Amino acid sequence: MTRASLGRMNKRAMNFYAGPAALPLAALERARDELVDFDGTGMSLMEHSHRGPAYDVVHREALSLIRELMGVPESYHVLLLQGGARQQFAMIPMNLLHPGKSADYVVTGNWGRQALGEAKLLGEARAAANTEQEGGTFHAVPTELDLDPDAAYLHLTSNNTLFGTQWASYPETGGVPLIADMTSDMISRPIDVSRFGLIYAGAQKNLGPAGVTVVIVRKDLVEGARKDIPNVFRYASFAAKDSLWNTPPTFPIYMLRNTLDVIKEQGGAAGMAKLSEKKSGLLYERLDAHPDFFRSPVGQASRSLVNVVFRLPTPELEQAFLAAAAERSMIGLKGHRIVGGIRASLYNHVQLEWVEALGDLMDTFRAKHG
Ligand SMILES: *Cc1c(COP(=O)(O)O)cnc(C)c1O
């Protein structure tokens, strides 16, 4: 190993970006070691056919790790798609919003609003709750929903990446399939997949790099889905071919597999949940102890364990805090432009030590400026 690469590794950034986000070092090092010569084949995995045996092993491992880590029942497909979470905003109504039906959406922020907007381009869709206020401040998870008992489905955003709010538990929907955008919290805690009709996530926050989207969908919904749409947007196309209907994003799926392997080693979804509680607890405990200095705009019941959002007394202090953080190799802490302030994203691969270092900075910064 060269001196330069050692130097770089000693200075691994403490990455709090909202996504793409930190990956496990072990997953990256595995990729580095295998990048040019995959498994003694004399070529990179990126150069292998997606129909060949070398890639096939990786593909099936990624699929089975998702099944295992999320406890996905046999009655569900696991699909690996492209187009990100936003493509799902469109594919869900294209496939599942039949003519004459209406779909329900819970709008708790920009992602839910955009998902509803896409559905409205394709058919009937309405808000079953909307906690967005003018000016885009903070959107609590609603306690009451105005559900249409005949809705094609109910869509919600399990974690509100921008605003730092998260559903602590999911609503009962009776016979209406529950659909969740879990882009920012998939496999960050155990869930009961059987309560959902469809779950999806762009991988780039908790599960791997950008370029692959995980979709878990009940088989009967795929069977009953619309057939009068282009094949590239049909869940059925991918379900019938184990997500090898066309060329999948082989390298992102390889990185997904490496990352899922690390998650499994670290105790799976339960291990991730413990870690998330610990990491977010370190920050919320400081917000609660010093509300005169750190303002949390999120109500207790809606607090996210993966995106902790807070304000300091003035924008100038926020700037100074971000600068002090950058000096210590802590990056990605600037709040989303709609919200301002500070946002610490604590996804699966954000190390506990990084969050401890951030907590220390909060203490010293408050001691100096409070
Ligand atoms: C990041 C994010 C998205 C956008 O994902 P893309 O893969 O960029 O389309 C959608 N929903 C949620 C909840 C997100 O956090």
Span 191-222, pLDDT tens digits: 999 999 999 999 999 999 999 999 999 999 99
End-to-end CA distance of the chain: 46
Q: For domain 269-369, which CATH number applies: 1.10.287.3510, 3.90.1150.10, 3.20.20.370, 3.40.50.300?
A: 3.90.1150.10
Domains 29-265 and 269-369 in one fold = no
Q: How far is the CA of 366 from the centre of ligand 1 (A)?
A: 33
Interval 104-152: pLDDT, tens: 999 999 999 999 999 999 999 999 999 876 444 467 788 889 999 999 9
pLDDT for 361: 98
CA of 117 to the centre of ligand 1 (A): 15
CATH 3.40.50.10330: does it fit domain 29-265?
no
Nearest atom (ligand 1) to Cα of 159: 13
Residue 109 near ligand 1, beta carbon < 6 Å:
no
Give the pLDDT band (50/70/90) at residue 80: very high
Give the type of residue at 61.
Answer: E
What pLDDT is recorded for position 300? 87
Return the domain boundaries, the chain: 29-265, 269-369
pLDDT > 70? residue 19: yes
Predicted model pTM: 0.95
Ligand 1 centroid vs 150 CA: distance in angstroms?
28
pLDDT tens for each residue of 326-337:
999 999 999 998
Residue range 312-332: mean pLDDT, rounded: 97
**Crossing angle of the two packed helices 250-265 and 25-34, in degrees rounded to 10:** 130
